[in-house]
Chain A
Amino acid sequence: DQQVKQNSPSLSVQEGRISILNCDYTNSMFDYFLWYKKYPAEGPTFLISISSIKDKNEDGRFTVFLNKSAKHLSLHIVPSQPGDSAVYFCAANRGADGLTFGKGTHLIIQP
């Protein structure tokens, strides 16, 4: 039973445009959500997070939106840059628990 779902295995976006990565979750007990960027054979790099009491958090080019009623969150990257090409993982947890990850979305930024 997958509690965190990323339904798009890959996404291709033109450089300079907006990249939108989506994530859905089923466990209503999750209270913290995070996005990580990962390259093959490397550990994930933390990008941005959001608490369940908020609906938006912004950090530079990255913005995360949370819709609790829909159990949905999204990561917006604008403008997209070639260096953004990587696998992006959505993760969630409750309190101080370990993270539950989605399967990832491979973002490809085309020049």
Chain B
Amino acid sequence: GAVVSQHPSWVICKSGTSVKIECRSLDFQATTMFWYRQFPKQSLMLMATSNEGSKATYEQGVEKDKFLINHASLTLSTLTVTSAHPEDSSFYICSARRTSGTGASYEQYFGPGTRLTVT
């Protein structure tokens, strides 16, 4: 299989606080994980590419100091939304690509998403 989990599935936080979202590949190793954001009735937009053991690369318009990404191991990447504001409220989805061993491919497998609401 290729299962990706995210935690938490939903979170409500107050403006100005920070929130950490975890993304785990449960049954495969992923040297590369991706973070996407989806606003209501919009498409998924790539925010950043998370590489194990190195700095994340961010898409144009995404503030790296606001969205901190850490890819600490081959199965875990975290996204921390710092000093969250209501406009950061969105559906955050991670994906992982099986990059080594049997079945290495370009398909990305997505987590179930995290609904962030900033009040």
A contact residues vs B (CB 8 Å cutoff): 32, 34, 36, 41-46, 49, 89, 93, 95-104
| Chain A at the B interface: SS class | loop
Stretch at the interface among B14-22, B63-71, B74-82, B110-118: B110-118
> Are B34 and A99 interface neighbours, CB within 8 A?
yes
- For chain B, what secondary structure do more than half of its interface residues adopt (helix, strand, loop), or is it mixed? strand
Residues of A within 8 A of B4 (CB): 43
Chain B contacts with A in 1-30, Cβ cutoff 8 A: 2, 4, 6
Residues of B within 8 A of A96 (CB): 32, 97, 99, 106
- Pair A98/B110 contact, Cβ less than 8 Å: no
A42 to B94, CA, bound (A): 11
Does B102 sit within 8 A of A, measured CB to CB? no
Q: Which residue of A lies closest to B46 (CB)?
A: A98
A-B contact count (CB 8 A): 57
Beta-carbon contact of B106 and A44 below 8 Å: no
**B44 in contact (CB, < 8 A):** yes
Q: Give 30 CB contacts A-B under 8 Å.
A: A34-B107, A34-B108, A36-B110, A41-B91, A41-B115, A42-B112, A43-B4, A43-B6, A43-B93, A43-B111, A44-B110, A45-B110, A46-B108, A46-B109, A89-B44, A95-B106, A96-B32, A97-B49, A98-B36, A98-B46, A98-B59, A99-B34, A99-B36, A99-B46, A99-B95, A99-B108, A101-B43, A101-B44, A101-B45, A103-B43
Question: A residues within 8 A CB of B113?
Answer: 41-43
